[in-house]
């Protein structure tokens, strides 16, 4: 059984949001829905369920803004963006490589099994050269 939580009024929540935004401006941090919910002793989910508009506004305000098309990006920002893109691509390629290795292993096992079935079906055992050392004359 869940306990009944007293919900604050929307006016109290908006006043707290204003204070949180001011504090965020002073400290350089972005306001979050979780911080607002904690101020009233609510869980994030409960707060979002009862105050969806305020939660949406807070989340949108916390989202980093994309630079405007007219403003040039700094060299540092370009490097950060390029680095993030390369990290994503590297992660993607590593996943592809891992998948390819797994496929090669499976194909190798299938090949060995098919060779054994062929030898069993024909009654002929293949004499291979692998595993032998060439004899010196």
d(CA 67, CA 14): 28
Measured at the alpha carbon of residue 62, what is the angle toward residues 57 and 64, in degrees to the nearest 5? 125
Whether 30 contacts 24, CB under 8 Å: yes
Measured at the alpha carbon of residue 55, what is the angle toward residues 49 and 56, in degrees to the nearest 5? 115
> Which range (15-19, 92-96, 98-102, 131-135) has the least confidence?
131-135
What letter would DSSP give residue 71? S
Residue count (the chain): 137
pLDDT tens column, 48-71: 999 999 999 888 877 766 655 556
pLDDT tens column, 102-118: 999 999 999 999 998 98
């Amino acid at each position: 059984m869940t306990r009944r939580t007293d919900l604050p009024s929307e006016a109290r929540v908006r006043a707290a949001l204003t204070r949180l935004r001011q504090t965020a401006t002073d400290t350089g941090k972005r306001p979050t829905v979780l911080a607002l919910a904690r101020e009233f002793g609510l869980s994030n989910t409960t707060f979002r369920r009862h105050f969806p508009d305020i939660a949406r506004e807070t989340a949108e305000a916390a989202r980093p803004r994309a630079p405007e098309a007219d403003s040039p990006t700094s060299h540092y920002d370009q490097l950060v963006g390029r680095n993030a893109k390369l990290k994503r691509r590297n992660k993607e390629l590593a996943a592809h490589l891992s998948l390819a290795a797994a496929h090669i292993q499976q194909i190798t096992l299938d090949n060995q099994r098919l060779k054994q079935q062929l030898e069993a079906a024909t009654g002929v055992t293949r004499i291979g050269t692998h595993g032998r050392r060439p004899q010196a004359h």
